[in-house]
Amino acid sequence: MNLIQIKLYYMTAKLITDKKDMKVSVLVNRENAMTANHFEHVAMKNKDGSPLRVRRNGKTKTWKRKPNEFSIPIKYGLYEYSYITHDNCHEWVLEY
């Protein structure tokens, strides 16, 4: 290996290790809504400043006549329930 290949190798290795520390935000859509179990709200925060985290509370509902629409039942807190739908999915990201 020449000097350029060695530098490129170390730069690539550093980039891969840096990516482990980064948090990647993936918006909720129909494809990943089928399997994801934990979500974070983009704008809403808890009292301590952390993002609002919710978990799935049932099966994703889909319709044959409306293939682009979906509804995910979610739970947060002790008694709070809601839905992530095709209308508000741009406000939610997957939690990793």
The residues spanned by each domain of the chain are 24-94
- What span, in angstroms and rounded, lies between the C-alpha atoms of 92 and 87? 11
Rounded Cα–Cα distance for residues 41 and 22 (Å)? 18
Mean pLDDT of 72-86: 93
Using an 8 Å Cβ cutoff, are 33 and 54 in contact? no
Across residues 2-31, what is the average pLDDT? 56
Q: Helices then strands (H, E): number in the chain?
A: 2, 6
d(CA 92, CA 27): 6
d(Cα 17, Cα 21) in Å, to the nearest integer? Answer: 7
Residue 48 has pLDDT above 80, yes or no: yes
pLDDT tens-place string over residues 22-47 = 556 788 888 888 888 999 988 888 88
